[in-house]
Amino acid sequence: MTKTMITGVQPSGNFTLGNYIGAIKNFVKLQKEHNSFIFIADLHGLTSYQKPEDIKNRILDLAALYLACGVDPNYTNFFVQSDVNEHGTLGFLIAFQCRVGELSRMTQYKSKKEKQGKEGIDLGLLIYPTLMAADILLYDAEVVPVGMDQKQHIEMTRDLGERFNKRYGSTFKLPDYYIPEVGAKIMNLQNPTEKMSKSAPIDDKGTIFILDDINITKKKIMSAVTDNDNKIYFDEENKPGISNLISIYSAITNKTIKEVEGMFVDQNYGTLKKEIASELERFILPIQERYNNYRYSDNLYKILNKGAKEAEKYASKKLLEVREKLGIKY
């Protein structure tokens, strides 16, 4: 039987190469052989304050970018999370089954908490994984392409789904994460022990934003932090900068790490960087062109509306089943 696959990205900043390699690339590769859903996680995007005008634009930017990256609405139900009310309702009901202790142990919560900590921590940040669990369980999704940072949240989704099934009878299918072999965690080019994140400031020299001017992107690659050893091989622990560059090259050219190491065995770091810069140009420019075509077209709204209607058909059935199981459908 065809499995259901789902993934989402928050409109919380500017889409990065890490987001592409960690989640969208695999989704696009797998979309035709699954019952596919992809959504813009705008409710998740509210877990840290954004100006309403900004988030509105980011939703549309991200929608156009998804399509430009190859999300195909002929095969995929493509929608904005808040257009399907069932996400919020199930998220609320799932949160009731979840313990504060397990939420506060989530790695992402712990690291983001430090940034928000000064003025107190919004509850949204803590309960983010319960909404994410609802996003997945609502569609009985079994495959979730994500980067390494989301692995823990998928495991929690399984736990929460299982807990509900045990208490109320079999209701949800339990998902598995699909983590890419290469590029599961693309690192910041200036600080290769930290994840590349889309909430980084636009002038951050270590973050590749897909919609940036290609010359800026090339400069960022050329000034990426490396080491003094001038030997090109993959060793994340001792050579995080070079290993990150190898992962990027490998992911955008679809070559294995071994193949990339072989190609650059006698080369210096400058050559590797130049090659990556020109491969990125080849890869990013067509995406930017397609993005510009989608971004201001009415078709974008039509695609999202149609996707939301389709998604709602699945989601409303599942929510009804949940209410019946809970005894709140009289």
From the list 199, 251, 196, the residue with the least C-alpha distance to 220 is 196
Q: Is 198 in the site for ligand AQP (CB under 6 A)?
A: yes
Catalytic residue (one of 25, 185, 198, 273): 198
Listed in sequence order, the DSSP H helices in the chain are 17-19, 25-30, 42-45, 52-68, 86-95, 100-104, 107-116, 123-137, 151-168, 214-222, 240-253, 257-263, 269-295, 298-326
Q: Is 10 in the site for ligand AQP (CB under 6 A)?
A: yes
Catalytic residue (one of 29, 51, 185, 195): 195
Question: Any catalytic annotation for residue 198?
Answer: yes
Q: Which stretch binds ligand AQP (CB under 6 A): 20-28, 81-89, 228-236, 251-259?
A: 20-28
Residue 224 tokens read as: 């990426």
Q: Which stretch binds ligand AQP (CB under 6 A): 8-16, 96-104, 156-164, 320-328?
A: 8-16
Nearer to ligand AQP, 44 or 322 (CB): 44
What are the phi and psi torsion angles at 9 (to 5°)?
-135, 140
Q: Which helix (H) or strand (E) holds 7?
A: strand 4-9
Question: Any catalytic annotation for residue 118?
Answer: no
Residue 45 tokens read as: 């995007």
Nearer to ligand AQP, 107 or 299 (CB): 107
Q: Which stretch binds ligand AQP (CB under 6 A): 76-84, 86-94, 141-149, 261-269?
A: 141-149
Measured CA to CA, the distance from residue 280 to residue 26 in angstroms comes to 18
Question: Any catalytic annotation for residue 255?
Answer: no
Please state the closest distance from residue 277 (CB atom) to ligand AQP, in A. 19
Residue found under tokens 């495991």 = 155
Residues 168-197 binding ligand AQP (CB under 6 A) are: 183-186, 195-197
How many other CB atoms sit within 10 Å of the CB of residue 55? Answer: 16
What does the binding site for ligand AQP look like in residue numbers (CB under 6 A)? 9-10, 12-13, 16, 18-19, 21-23, 41, 146-147, 149-150, 183-186, 195-199
Residues acting as catalytic residues: 112, 195, 198
